[in-house]
Amino acid sequence: MDLIPFDVLQQRLIETCGERSGRQVFREIMREKPISFDEQILTTIDAMKLHSNESYSLRTIATIFEVAHSTIKDKLDKRGSPKKEEPNARIFDDIQEQIFIAEIIDEYENGDPFTQATLLEHIDAQFPEKMISRGYIQSLVNRYSHRIIEMIARPLEQKRFDVPLTDVAAYRIGLSEKVEGRYSCLIANADESGVQDFADAHNKLVLAPVSVKPKDCRYKVERDGKKVSIMGTIALDGECAPPAVVVKRLTLDQDIYDHGLRKDRDALIMTSKKGNFNTQHVTTWGEKIFVPFIKSQRKAYKLPQTARATLIMDGYGPHCADELTNLFKKNNIDILLLPAHASHGFQPLDLSTFHAMKSRVKQMQTGFEKGTQGHQIQ
């Protein structure tokens, strides 16, 4: 039979799964690029299990493709039949297949697990003279089911909210000790934000070691573009400290301050090999930005310079460095750390300011050529 026109298939999926899930299922099908009616059915089954499992059933698939329920069952039985795939399995000997399995496990542990499609491409690139298909890959998975398994993996970034309740309780105690009863002008929140997008991250069906539990199945999210990190600071009274910016460069371009930026007044601009804040950057920020900011807050509100201030930050290593904590102790500033892996649930800047900032940044027009260092900083 001929392929169902893809626009027709998309419409049927939306009617079956709903607007959002239907489009997700359709995008997953298009990633696999089915070239036959059978492949179209099987990729649709896989995609529905991944993105709309509550809508999946053999009868639902049969309705979408306008075939008998028994036809769908036969195609699934043939796909997973060891007898049918056994001749293909001998394309490679046992040693070669053991190497494939080791590669599958290694790639998962490296955070970039294979899918059936990418494993097929990987093997095909190594052995272009071999005629292999998705059927062989499925056979390999079936025959080595004691070592590998196919399961849904979530983007690694989703791990950030795996936080024990004991840590949340400890944070609440910290709030009562270091926030309650203090002047709002001396309670501040600071955080770094990378002005850089994630590639499109979504749950996907991957090959993983059998020892992996479904809740722990993750894959690393790749970032795209050039990175610029910004340290934003806002006090509870709404006052903001000048931002600190780190660019992924060893030197600053000479024209950085040619379009209105005032050095160390509008922003503290620094460089690094990776575009991330390190201990030296954070300590410099503390000396040149945050301590003067707190002193000016005390002065503006006519408070003594001994009035204690609180800075809320996540537990990123440089935030806990001795250089920074000693600097803050001398200036009557306490640090309150957020629970680990929970910054996007508790970090005030993540929950409001940075989201609005990134949306605004993407729409901004600057006086610099797009892609230049100055454009990224502005």
Quick one: 110 and 223 in the same domain?
A: no
The answer as to whether 29 is a domain residue is yes
Query: Domain containing 119: what range?
Result: 94-144
Higher-confidence residue: 43 or 373? 43
- pLDDT score at 88: 42
Q: What is the CATH number of the domain that holds 177?
A: 3.30.420.10
Quick one: 197 and 343 in the same domain?
A: yes
**Structure-token match 């599958």, residue found:** 104
- pLDDT score at 86: 43
Residue 119: pLDDT band (50, 70, 90) is: very high
Alpha helices in the chain (DSSP H): 6-17, 19-32, 37-51, 58-65, 69-79, 82-89, 94-109, 116-126, 134-143, 165-178, 279-285, 291-300, 322-330, 343-346, 348, 354-363, 373-377
DSSP per residue, 61-84: HHHHHT--HHHHHHHHHHHT-HHH
Q: Which residues pair with 247 in a beta bridge?
A: 228, 271
The answer as to whether 255 is a domain residue is yes
The answer as to whether 22 is a domain residue is yes
Indicate the number of domains in the chain: 3
Quote the percentage of the chain above a pLDDT of 90. 33
- pLDDT score at 336: 93
**CA 6/CA 17 separation, integer angstroms:** 16
- pLDDT score at 181: 92
The answer as to whether 241 is a domain residue is yes
Q: Specify the 3-state DSSP secondary structure of 312.
A: strand
Reply yes or no on whether the pLDDT at 248 is more than 90.
no
Residue 59 CB neighbours (<10 A): 10
Quick one: 185 and 68 in the same domain?
A: no
Quick one: 176 and 244 in the same domain?
A: yes
pLDDT in tens, 138-184: 889 999 999 999 988 887 654 455 567 788 888 889 999 999 999 99
Quick one: 179 and 316 in the same domain?
A: yes
Quick one: 239 and 352 in the same domain?
A: yes
What's the predicted TM-score (pTM) here? 0.49
Quick one: 50 and 101 in the same domain?
A: no
The answer as to whether 376 is a domain residue is no
Quick one: 192 and 289 in the same domain?
A: yes
pLDDT in tens, 4-58: 898 899 999 999 988 888 888 898 888 888 888 888 999 899 888 888 888 888 8
Quick one: 337 and 244 in the same domain?
A: yes
Q: What is the mean pLDDT of residues 334-357?
A: 69
* Spatial contact of 256 and 373, defined as CB atoms under 8 Å apart: yes
Reply yes or no on whether the pLDDT at 134 is more than 80.
yes
The answer as to whether 356 is a domain residue is yes
Count of alpha carbons within 13 angstroms of residue 155, beta-carbon side: 11
Q: What is the DSSP letter of 320?
A: G
The answer as to whether 307 is a domain residue is yes
**CA 121/CA 360 separation, integer angstroms:** 40
**CA 221/CA 117 separation, integer angstroms:** 18
**CA 314/CA 373 separation, integer angstroms:** 28
The answer as to whether 149 is a domain residue is no
Residue 199: pLDDT band (50, 70, 90) is: very low
pLDDT in tens, 72-116: 888 887 775 444 444 444 688 889 999 999 999 999 988 889 999
Quick one: 40 and 188 in the same domain?
A: no
* Spatial contact of 27 and 44, defined as CB atoms under 8 Å apart: no
Q: What is the mean pLDDT of residues 304-308?
A: 95
Quick one: 172 and 315 in the same domain?
A: yes
Q: What is the mean pLDDT of residues 263-273?
A: 82
Q: Specify the 3-state DSSP secondary structure of 348.
A: helix
Q: Specify the 3-state DSSP secondary structure of 17.
A: helix
Q: What is the mean pLDDT of residues 187-192?
A: 89
Quick one: 137 and 218 in the same domain?
A: no
Question: Over the Cα atoms of the chain, what is R_g?
Answer: 27
